[in-house]
């Protein structure tokens, strides 16, 4: 900006006169003035901003720290103080500031909940931060706002802001390992741990310890499947397991050509993980 102003000033000064004696000193003072004034204003604003910049990168007071990790194409949310972890659906307490640390597992993503904050990038190898502060209990919809590959459009997320007591109850449940499945769906758990599912997914309380895909310990309690691509219902879980690539092409969830019986057993098991 200053460079542009100086360039314009130089051009103005170089223009041949039209017979009138040029007011060289008047113009020069004007140039110095319009260059120095904005520079001074920017310098003052910069100094005033420094404390805000510093506070943005560290949680303070009663802030709830959360780590958000962008993956192609889903979100991982960690609660370091609570020892809890979930995916795609961030729960926060109403009225308490939430300090979100943003990381990426692969490419650049962007965290955007339009009703709660502006867009902030999640950049591999660099940590960014943002604050969330929900004033009323609601579900706030958001999405990845940086093109990150073929399923960028289906990298949705949602923030569930709850009364503090409800949030505490949610955290307490999240911290529990998956409940032992009822006899009717025990076959689903057996399939899950015998097949390749465990290479990518974790279900606390079982031998499934993969971290490539979302943690599924409480899958049944989430609102959506596949980071927002389907509502989380038993029927949709069947559709998803039957052929994920038909629903979210390019995602890391392969089509395992499961039989209908296996799909039914797995879907019943996963939907029972509340």
Per CB under 6 A, residues contacting ligand CUA are 70, 73, 109, 144, 146-148, 152, 155
Please check whether residue 202 is in contact with residue 209, taking contact to mean a CB–CB distance below 8 angstroms: yes
What is the C-alpha to C-alpha distance for residues 224 and 75, in angstroms, rounded to an integer?
Answer: 12
* Residue from 105, 104, 109, 133 nearest 119 by CA: 109
The distance of closest approach from Cβ of residue 189 to ligand CUA in the complex, given in angstroms and rounded to an integer, is 31
Q: What is the DSSP letter of 154?
A: G
What is the C-alpha to C-alpha distance for residues 46 and 49, in angstroms, rounded to an integer?
Answer: 5
The distance of closest approach from Cβ of residue 73 to ligand CUA in the complex, given in angstroms and rounded to an integer, is 6
Q: Which is nearer to ligand CUA, 108 or 200 (CB)?
A: 108
* Residue from 207, 201, 205 nearest 225 by CA: 201
Residue count of the chain, please give it: 274
Q: Which is nearer to ligand CUA, 22 or 126 (CB)?
A: 126
Q: Which is nearer to ligand CUA, 7 or 147 (CB)?
A: 147
Q: Which is nearer to ligand CUA, 152 or 175 (CB)?
A: 152
The distance of closest approach from Cβ of residue 148 to ligand CUA in the complex, given in angstroms and rounded to an integer, is 3
Residue identified by tokens 């100086």 is: 6
The distance of closest approach from Cβ of residue 254 to ligand CUA in the complex, given in angstroms and rounded to an integer, is 20
Helices 24-56 + 2-14 axis angle, to 10: 170
What is the C-alpha to C-alpha distance for residues 202 and 127, in angstroms, rounded to an integer?
Answer: 25
The distance of closest approach from Cβ of residue 36 to ligand CUA in the complex, given in angstroms and rounded to an integer, is 43
DSSP, collapsed to helix, strand or coil, labels residue 230 as strand
The distance of closest approach from Cβ of residue 111 to ligand CUA in the complex, given in angstroms and rounded to an integer, is 9
* Residue from 74, 5, 71 nearest 34 by CA: 5
Q: Which is nearer to ligand CUA, 98 or 144 (CB)?
A: 144
**Residue 203, number of CB atoms within 10 A of its CB:** 24
Q: Which is nearer to ligand CUA, 164 or 250 (CB)?
A: 250
């Amino acid at each position: 900006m200053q460079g542009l102003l100086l360039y314009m000033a130089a051009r103005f000064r170089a223009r041949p006169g039209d017979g009138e004696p040029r007011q060289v000193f008047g113009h020069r003072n004007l140039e110095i003035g319009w260059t120095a004034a904005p520079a001074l204003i920017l310098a003052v604003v910069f100094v005033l901003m420094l404390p805000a910049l510093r506070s943005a990168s560290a949680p303070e007071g009663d802030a709830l720290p959360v780590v958000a990790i962008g993956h192609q194409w889903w979100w991982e949310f960690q609660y370091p103080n609570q020892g809890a972890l979930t995916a795609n659906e961030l729960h926060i307490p109403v009225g308490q500031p939430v300090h979100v640390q943003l990381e990426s597992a692969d490419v650049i993503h962007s965290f955007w909940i339009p009703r709660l904050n502006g867009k902030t990038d999640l950049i591999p190898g660099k940590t960014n931060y943002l604050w969330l502060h929900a004033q009323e209990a609601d579900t706030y919809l958001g999405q990845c706002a940086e093109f990150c590959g073929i399923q960028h459009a289906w990298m949705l997320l949602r923030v569930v802001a709850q009364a503090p007591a409800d949030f505490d109850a949610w955290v307490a449940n999240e911290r529990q390992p998956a409940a032992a499945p009822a006899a009717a769906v025990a076959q689903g758990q057996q399939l899950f741990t015998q097949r390749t599912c465990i290479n990518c997914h974790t279900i606390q309380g079982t031998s499934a310890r993969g971290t490539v895909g979302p943690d599924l310990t409480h899958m049944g309690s989430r609102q959506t499947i596949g980071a927002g691509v389907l509502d989380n219902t038993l029927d949709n879980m069947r559709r998803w397991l039957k052929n994920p690539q038909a629903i979210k092409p390019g995602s890391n969830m392969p089509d395992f050509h499961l039989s209908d019986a296996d799909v039914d057993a797995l879907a019943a098991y996963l939907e029972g993980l509340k």
